[in-house]
Amino acid sequence: MTHMVLEVKESLEERCNQILRNMEASLTARDRVGIQDFVLLDPHTSESAFLDNLRKRFHENLIYTYIGTLLVSVNPYKELDIYSKKQMDTYMGVNFFELPPHIYALADNVFRTMQSEFNNHFILISGESGAGKTEASKKILQFYAVSCPSTKLLNNVRDRLLLSNPVLEAFGNAKTLKNDNSSRFGKYMDIQFDHQGGAVGGHILSYLLEKSRVVHQNHGERNFHIFYQLVEGGEEDLLRWLGLERNCKNYRYLVQGDCAKVSSINDKSDWKTVRKALSVIEFSESDTEHLFGIIASVLHLGNIKFDVDARGYATLNNNQEICWGFLIRLKPKQRSPFSVDHAVYARDALAKAIYGRTFNWLVNKINESLANKDSSRKTVIGLLDIYGFEVFSVNSFEQFCINYCNEKLQQLFIELTLKSEQEEYEMEGIEWEPVPYFNNKIICDLVEEKFRGIISLLDEECLRPGEATDITFLEKMEEKIGGHPHFVTHKLGDQKTRKTLDRGDFRLLHYAGEVTYCSDLLDYYSFPVIFKVMRQSKNAIIKHCFPSTEPDSKRRPETVVTQFKSSLVGLTEILMSKEPWYVRCIKPNEAKQPGHFNDVLVRHQVKYLGLMEHLRVRRAGFAYRRKYEIFLQRYKPLCPDTWPNWKGTAAEGVQLLIKHLGYKPDEYKMGRTKIFIRHPRTLFATEDAFQVCKHKLATRIQAKYKGFRVKEDYLKQREAATKIENCWRGLMARKEREKRAWAVKVIKKFIKGFMTRNEPACIDNSEYLAYVRQNYLTRLKENLPKTVLQKDSWLTPPPIMQEVAQLLKKIYIRHMVRKYVRGITPQRKAQVKSTFTCHLCLLFLFFSDLCVRPPQYSVPVVKYDRNGFRPRLRQLIFTQQAAYLVEEAKIKQRIDYSSLRGVSVSNLSDNFLILHVTCDDINKKGDLVLQCDYLFEALTKLSIIVNNQNCIKVVQGSVRFDIQPGREGFVDFKSGQESMVYRAKNGHLMVVTTQCGEMLL
């Protein structure tokens, strides 16, 4: 019962705490800094108000803000204590808007929606380089690693998913001017979950690796991390085998940015992480050896220098050639005649081709490790970490591809957002109001339209006969798309435009602003002879990356931009088949400084990320929409009809609630499953009322809870009292029952003993006869004769006590009559009566023993304590078996004759005797020191009873006696003028007597 009470108590306390937490979690979050959801921002069309709210929250380290279910994240450029295991537990299984905005809230909501609806989802993470996209992706992966079910198999998959990140970062990330760990490739990762929510597999797609970084870096930037990790952290044996030195400055491909060392990057530590990750992802020793051999070969390749021979062809140093050729196991004599310029270009093209294809092999190898072998249906959550819109002073081919990708994703973003909003309105039966927004389809068509787009013109220019150059490509674009409103060149522009545009450049007006590109978008291909050489390599990875089925010189492959367009179309199809969720990352400043908020920079990112368009779409007529159940659960205390429990449907309850609150018809709409509130001020007024109400509600809950606690204590005490009372009554009842049973038994025995009283002693009459003896002795004690002559006044004894009564008469008469004295003093008479009374007490206590062995002798004595020698009046009684020292009715000591070692007396008339007894136990009493007025009589009786006349020893001067084992005392005897007994200074008992002292017999 107590256990059940405690469980109810704990359950109630937890429920009360949960209610209080829910009340504190304000949907509008106006008790915090700024607005947590931009949908509730008023005015929602003001870009300045948007920035003010973002800035206000950023300065309070509140880096996350919602736009509906879209999450806006501002990079704080410092560590914040908001990513602990405790934070993860807080956001698991909680309503999306119940707690402050967080990336864990979005990740948990995606996961729970996937489980409940059993469909596929993806999270699009976008933003500029340095905005925190890669970190956001890591946090989501870490959340799923903790929140998903755990088994040995699932943990293995989880570890591979997590450790794929440091490997891909090492080979695909680099230090740039904007970010020390910038992803230089686009990544889409699918995480596969089983029906129980366990992560069982994954798949990664990569897009447009920045291969140009392998051979060239701007000042202040680095090559990919893996090169520096290998040189700085590689083991000595490995570097020796690879022919590398532990100095990045010795390699041309690593020093162009003059930034080999970065304070925020620990290459040695990262190298250990990568090595461990490769082993967990199940890279074999052979794979790892070939992989590092390729990385080293790229470094050696960058150090090759060319000279001109007599025929104008390029020549190279054999040692260098053999070194990098050995690592990828090439035959060193295979080469093709190039000019020096062509040779340098071919060298760099080969380095880029080797690294780019090796990176693709690495991604495929990781996918093999993450592949789920189970063919049953799985649900998927995709993570898309894609490049942000980039604008530099010089924008080349790669910036063109990146910005084209952002145009496509922006188009997809608007389409999916509008589509989801329109579907929600239609599903709820609410009239859809068209939302004006910039449709960037016109820009996407400019780039990708068949036969007329920039990509088609680029392919055509590369395939036409003759030599294609940047100028011919620019002229063709001016001819085909010269009239497009979003395309302009120096030739097509007005006088003002020509001042800002070089003759070899062209400008595109993207949705995020104008970007000027160099016209060097022609994708030069590696010479066919190079690919033939690479096919001869004995390195397993190189052979796989340059297969024999590679298109030869007779047929040119697709350009890189066409391949990128095709992969982008495939990515779009993947995303269109899943439910979208968005994380928009913003960097607050270019200097990576904590606490600094650059309004111009942030405003530009807000524009090209399409946040205002998304907000306008979300606010398409209604600022707030919630399911009836959620709205009613939160605000039902505001209406007496709905509080505390509403029995009807949630929609009916909400209708009563808003009627009580006084909502006007134009302020809300009732959908099929949701309520739509048009203006934020309406919700704010409702929230204000709730904030006032919740304090009263908390007081009532507190009062109820206190009442419950008091009642609980009362019930507990009453239960305890009832239990004690029941136990006490049970105990008393058992005692009464036992008492009655005992009484019945005693009465039965008494009756049976009475009926057999005249028979010989047996079990049936033993207790009755004992009672008869006890009763007789008790009455005799109170009715002794006053004089010797009153013989007839002696109580008539029962038959069982005839012999005992005769013995008692003799003893009484013997003590009443003195043989050697004519008269008796009053003191002696009292002493005789006292002695006889003592005999009667002993008979009363030991009547069963006395019937067989009655007392032989009794005499009053003075007993001296062993410690301190204090005198005490006692009665000494001799029976046939033992001597007893008695005080009234109490036996103080029993001395068995078998333990009596002897008796000591002095040669003086002091009446002292010392009984020596055997004492082996420290808990037993020692020898007895006694003074007896009838010493001769007592000694004579003792010697007769024990049948040993030699036990009495007469001593002179002093007697030693045992107080207890190991401890002794002494009695000293001497003559003096006056008889006295006292304790001497030496601790002995001193007995002084006169020579003429009278001895009474």
Q: For residue 978, say whether it is annotated as part of any ligand binding site.
A: no
Q: For residue 133, say whether it is annotated as part of any ligand binding site.
A: yes
Q: Running DSSP on this structure, what letter comes out for residue 277?
A: H
> Cα(326)–Cα(332) distance, rounded to whole angstroms?
8
> Cα(541)–Cα(775) distance, rounded to whole angstroms?
119
134 is catalytic: yes
Query: Which DSSP string do the residues of 553-614 spell out, in sequence order?
Result: TTS----HHHHHHHHHHHHHHHHHTSEEEEEEEE-S-SS--TT---HHHHHHHHHHTTHHHH
CB under 8 Å, gap of 24 or more: what pairs does 392-396 form?
A: 394/518, 395/515, 395/516, 395/517, 395/518, 396/212, 396/517, 396/518, 396/520, 396/521
Q: Which neighbouring-strand residues pair with 586? A: 74
Give residue for tokens 């068995």: 896
Q: For residue 233, say whether it is annotated as part of any ligand binding site.
A: no
Q: For residue 314, say whether it is annotated as part of any ligand binding site.
A: no
Q: At what angle are helices 103-117 and 133-147 packed, to 10 degrees? A: 50
372 is catalytic: no
Query: Which DSSP string do the residues of 137-188 spell out, in sequence order?
Result: HHHHHHHHHHHS---HHHHHHHHHHHHHHHHHHHHHEE--SS-TTEE-SEEE
For 8, 92, 98, 687, 713, the CA distances from 13, given in Å and listed in that order, are 9, 21, 20, 26, 15
Which among 182, 297, 489, 904 is annotated as catalytic?
A: 182
Q: Running DSSP on this structure, what letter comes out for residue 37?
A: B
179 is catalytic: yes
Print the SS3 string covering 880-892. CCEEEEEECCEEE
Please answer whether residues 612 and 417 qualify as being in contact, where contact means their C-beta atoms are separated by less than 8 angstroms.
no
Please answer whether residues 604 and 440 qualify as being in contact, where contact means their C-beta atoms are separated by less than 8 angstroms.
no
Q: For residue 131, say whether it is annotated as part of any ligand binding site.
A: yes
> Is the peptide bond between 166 and the residue preceding it cis, with omega within 30 degrees of 0?
no
Which among 65, 69, 120, 179 is annotated as catalytic?
A: 179
Largest CA distance in the chain: 175
> Cα(808)–Cα(855) distance, rounded to whole angstroms?
10
Which among 135, 390, 424, 652 is annotated as catalytic?
A: 390
Burial class (CB in 10 A: 0-12, 13-18, 19+), 475: middle
> Cα(528)–Cα(557) distance, rounded to whole angstroms?
11
> Cα(198)–Cα(200) distance, rounded to whole angstroms?
6
In 194-230, which positions are buried (b, 16+ CB within 10 angstroms) versus exposed (e)? beebbbbbbbbbbbbbbbebbbebeeebbbbbbbbbb
Q: At what angle are helices 802-816 and 826-845 packed, to 10 degrees? A: 160
- Neighbouring CB atoms inside 10 A of 829's CB total 12
Q: How far apart are the first and last CA of the chain?
A: 81
Which among 34, 68, 130, 257 is annotated as catalytic?
A: 130
The helices-and-strands tally (H runs, E runs) of the chain is 32, 29
For 17, 82, 538, 635, 698, the CA distances from 22, given in Å and listed in that order, are 9, 20, 65, 12, 12
Phi and psi angles of residue 768, each rounded to the nearest 5 degrees, phi first = -65, -45
183 is catalytic: yes
Print the SS3 string covering 404-418. HHHHHHHHHHHHHHH
Burial class (CB in 10 A: 0-12, 13-18, 19+), 840: buried
Please answer whether residues 901 and 949 qualify as being in contact, where contact means their C-beta atoms are separated by less than 8 angstroms.
no
Which among 382, 388, 610, 653 is annotated as catalytic?
A: 388
Comparing C-alpha atoms, which of 535, 532, 570 is closest to residue 553? 532
Residue 376 structure tokens = 């049953």
CA 815 to chain centre: 93
Burial class (CB in 10 A: 0-12, 13-18, 19+), 476: middle
Q: For residue 129, say whether it is annotated as part of any ligand binding site.
A: yes
Q: For residue 134, say whether it is annotated as part of any ligand binding site.
A: yes
Binding positions for ATP: 127-134
Positions marked catalytic = 129-130, 134, 179, 182-183, 388, 390
Binding positions: 127-134
